[in-house]
Amino acid sequence: MSNVHDGQREREKPEEQIQKPFLQDGGSEEEKLEAHIAKLRHQIEEANYQYYINDNPVLTDAEYDQLMIELQRIEHDHPELQTPESPTQHVGTGPVQDVSQHRHPVPMLSLANARSEQELLDWHRRAQNILPNATFSYVCELKIDGLAMALTYEQGRLVMGASRGDGLVGEDWTANVRTIHTIAKKLRGKQIPSRVEVRGEIYMPIQSFEKLNEELTDTHLFANPRNAAAGSLRQKDPRVTASRNLSFFGYQIGYVEGMRITSHWDTLQLIREWGFPVNPHVQMAHDLDEVMAYCNKWEKERFNLPYEIDGVVIKINDLAHQEELGTVARDPRWAIAFKYPPIQVATRLLDIRVNVGRTGSMNPWAVLEPINIRGVTVSRASLHNEGDIQRKDLRVGDWVLVQRAGEVIPQVVKPVVEHRTGNEEVYHLPDNCPSCNTPIIRVPDQAMAYCPNKECPERILQSVSHFVSKGAMDIDTIGEKMSEQLVNAGYIKSLSDFYHLTEEQLLALNGVKKKSADNMLAAVEASKQRPFWRLLFGLNIRYIGEKSAQILANAFMSMDALKQASAEDIVKVPGIGPEIGQSVYNWLQDQDNLALIERLRAAGLTLEEEQHEQTGPLTGQSFLLTGRLEAMSRSAAETEIVRLGGKIATGVSKSLSHLVVGEDPGSKLAKAQKAGVAIHDEAWLINLLQEHATAK
Ligand SMILES: NC(=O)c1ccc[n+]([C@@H]2O[C@H](COP(=O)([O-])OP(=O)(O)OC[C@H]3O[C@@H](n4cnc5c(N)ncnc54)[C@H](O)[C@@H]3O)[C@@H](O)[C@H]2O)c1
Ligand SMILES: [Zn+2]
């Protein structure tokens, strides 16, 4: 453990802060300590509940870890105060009552943490003391920030998907787990055991997380991809889970019948053969130097990953060693998590300003004193909405903690209250739109505020930029800059004006030559062929993201059918919540919007889903195959995908659902990785096709 002085200081500090109910005058040292422990335990249990059950943390991970470390230290120094109920002795928190429970045949444990090279060495020394003659080798893995899942297979078929819960009893989420494409429903390969439990991490790619938060109404925003993954899995309706683009990496076997495996490395190979994705960055290490090199490498490179990691997991490779080392409290002795320090930096909140979004929303953002967070200078951060600012009690002039997680936009975590001087100012949204000065409107029960003016210049600019963007109408030769010029020149007052642009108009703009004018007109023309859902997405209807646009287009098949639907009809569609449904309905009641639809119709845009399209289990998903497939030809695979309702994409874009990679893939792989597209191998595809072919 750390040196005595540190330990003493750590213990003294919190005692000063103990609140009255715990501290009775004249109480002995012991009583004080007990009271302090009780408080710590209470705080941790409370945080656990918010984190594991509500998927809505009330503390930052760093704050939580601080409480836990302190409690562990006190219990270590005062074993007499340890209890089996202490949060240091158990994992997570029990399952919620109204979900079926699953008792884990082999407990699902947590992992002890190391935060420095020294702590890693300490871990190694402890293991070596128990097995003095053993020579260890290690498997290094990324610590994916998601939630642990235990998947049981009988005769190769998935029969149970359970969360960790309190480690002994988890929640049965089988129906939801089945909707996750990267989880095998049927094991592949030659060696199929009669019964096996595969463990791994369900996670949400960063891009999907960001997209999801864009689509969710402000009251349900997820704090990070981990909470988004847990919240999306723990849904009553599996169709909601299905719409959330969760993914999976396998990393362990809980137990297996009739099969002998001797090393963790072999475990990973076997899991891969069975058809699960295994993280491609797993690596063997033969000594602690190699382990440290791996940790250091990924501390820097983690921001290039399409998913979040919060550290590295190091496991002793030999399963016989693992068995002998066993577990202590809630952690195995044969593994450790090397955790990266949270990337939070303090800086000044200089000002709060407001942008007008494409639906008229007031979007406050922070002007920060520029600060370098791991090589990136951060000078602004999104603040979501006024409610969020109030919840965090951010005041202009505050010192604030700023966080950069993965590639997620920098976030203001909280104010550093101790640094307050009293000169900080409580923030309120302006009463009028900063762009057009119209009084803003607040929606009851929501933290959002809007500019109601349809002619608000900033709102028009944003909505036009969105309309031409890649995910929407993809008018690629007209970017943000050109949109601005077109709006400023008065050519685009409404989205339908794009379809009446003339060459003369374009040539009159600064710096536009005939060739680029022609390109722009051609791109506008081509956009008429975009599928209906893209138009729906492009229309800037509040809360409508790509996914909900697809769901609505599939459910109603045409704009006319959608127009005729009642609010109840729309809300009833699986995956469309009440806010989205009501918002679409309201939008369609507005005369100006209806007139816009008619102008778009007259211009020849697609207002219907293609009728001849197959619908099936893969509807709403797009696929792109690259490289050589072995078991079937690419065209046969594509035909089968289309037959099952899926689409074949023409290139990699953010909206691509799956990239399937065969032998010798080309540049698409790197592109897809960058775009955060889910990437699979051929085994996965075949499994998927077989699964649905039999189910159909
Ligand atoms: N902010 C809060 O209020 C709050 C509350 C509770 C917990 N937490 C966070 O959760 C942590 C504790 O949670 P925990 O008990 O799940 O421990 P943990 O997350 O530190 O480590 C154990 C987990 O790591 C995951 N994991 C990812 N990749 C893995 C791999 N390759 N091999 C094995 N496991 C892998 C598994 O899900 C496993 O259950 C805390 O340190 C804190 O960061 C935060
Ligand atoms: Zn305005």
Name the nearest CA neighbour of 577 among 308, 322, 244: 244
For ligand 2, a single-atom ion, the residues with CB < 5 A are 433, 435-436, 451, 453, 456
Alpha-helical (H) ranges within 115-224 are: 117-130, 174-177, 206-215
- Cα four-point dihedral sign 559, 565, 569, 571: positive
Q: 48: Cβ below 6 Å to ligand 1?
A: yes
Q: 66: Cβ below 6 Å to ligand 1?
A: no
Q: 111: Cβ below 6 Å to ligand 1?
A: yes
The whole-model pTM stands at 0.64
Q: 144: Cβ below 6 Å to ligand 1?
A: yes
Ligand 2 centroid distance, CA of 466 (Å)? 17
- Pocket test of ligand 1: the residue of 106, 143, 224 to mutate, having most ligand atoms within 8 Å of its CB, is 143
Domains in the chain, ordered, with CATH?
Answer: 4-81 (1.10.287.610), 101-339 (3.30.470.30), 344-449 (2.40.50.140), 457-602 (1.10.150.20), 622-695 (3.40.50.10190)
Alpha-helical (H) ranges within 405-557 are: 457-468, 480-488, 503-507, 514-527, 532-538, 546-556
**CA–CA gap between residue 561 and residue 570 (Å, rounded):** 11
The H-or-E segment that residue 345 falls in is strand 344-356
Q: 140: Cβ below 6 Å to ligand 1?
A: no
Atom index in ligand 1 nearest the CA of residue 58 equals 3
**CA–CA gap between residue 66 and residue 78 (Å, rounded):** 18
Q: 70: Cβ below 6 Å to ligand 1?
A: no
**CA–CA gap between residue 168 and residue 118 (Å, rounded):** 32
> Can 143 be counted among the known catalytic residues?
yes
Q: Which residue has the tokens 């649905």?
A: 692
Distances (CA, A) of 191 to 91, 156, 254, 263, 537: 33, 10, 17, 17, 46
pLDDT averaged over 10-residue windows placed end to end, the chain, 696 residues:
30 29 54 89 88 79 85 89 85 79 93 94 96 96 97 96 93 94 93 96 92 70 86 88 93 95 97 96 97 95 89 97 91 95 86 92 92 79 83 94 69 90 94 96 80 92 91 87 91 94 93 92 94 94 85 90 94 80 94 96 91 73 86 75 80 88 85 89 88 66
Cβ-based neighbours of 506, under 8 Å, separated by 6 or more: 512, 516, 517, 520, 521
Name the nearest CA neighbour of 630 among 681, 691, 689, 693: 681
Q: Can you list the pairs that 573-578 forms with residues at least 24 positions away whose Cβ atoms lie under 8 Å?
A: 574/237, 574/239, 574/240, 575/239, 575/240, 575/242, 575/243, 575/547, 575/548, 575/551, 576/548, 576/551, 576/552, 577/217
Contact 654, 675 (CB under 8 A): yes
Catalytic residue among 143, 414, 647, 668: 143
Cβ-based neighbours of 116, under 8 Å, separated by 6 or more: none
Beta bridge partners of 316: 138
Beta bridge partners of 681: 661
Contact 661, 629 (CB under 8 A): no
Least distant ligand from the CA of 362: 2
**CA–CA gap between residue 662 and residue 645 (Å, rounded):** 22
Ligand 2 centroid distance, CA of 456 (Å)? 4
Question: Which residue type occupies 653?
Answer: S
- Pocket test of ligand 1: the residue of 44, 65, 201, 291 to mutate, having most ligand atoms within 8 Å of its CB, is 201
Ligand 1 centroid distance, CA of 283 (Å)? 21
Least distant ligand from the CA of 355: 2
The answer on whether 395 is annotated among ligand-binding residues is no
Secondary structure (3-state) at 154: strand
**CA–CA gap between residue 559 and residue 600 (Å, rounded):** 11
Q: Which residue has the tokens 């289990």?
A: 617
Distances (CA, A) of 652 to 228, 371, 551: 25, 34, 21
What are the structure tokens assigned to 659, written together?
């990239």
Residue nearest to atom 10 of ligand 1 (CA): 61
Q: 340: Cβ below 6 Å to ligand 1?
A: no
The answer on whether 61 is annotated among ligand-binding residues is yes
The answer on whether 456 is annotated among ligand-binding residues is yes
> How many other C-beta atoms are found inside a 10 Å radius of the C-beta of residue 32?
15
DSSP assignment of 220-256, as one string? G--SSHHHHHHHHHS-SSHHHHHTT--EEEEEEEEEE
**CA–CA gap between residue 306 and residue 407 (Å, rounded):** 8
Ligand 1 centroid distance, CA of 53 (Å)? 14
Q: 55: Cβ below 6 Å to ligand 1?
A: no
What are the structure tokens assigned to 452, written together?
């109601």
Secondary structure (3-state) at 320: helix
Q: What is the ipTM of this complex?
A: 0.95
**CA–CA gap between residue 156 and residue 196 (Å, rounded):** 8
Ligand 2 centroid distance, CA of 485 (Å)? 19
Ligand 1 centroid distance, CA of 339 (Å)? 10
Q: What is the pLDDT of residue 20?
A: 30
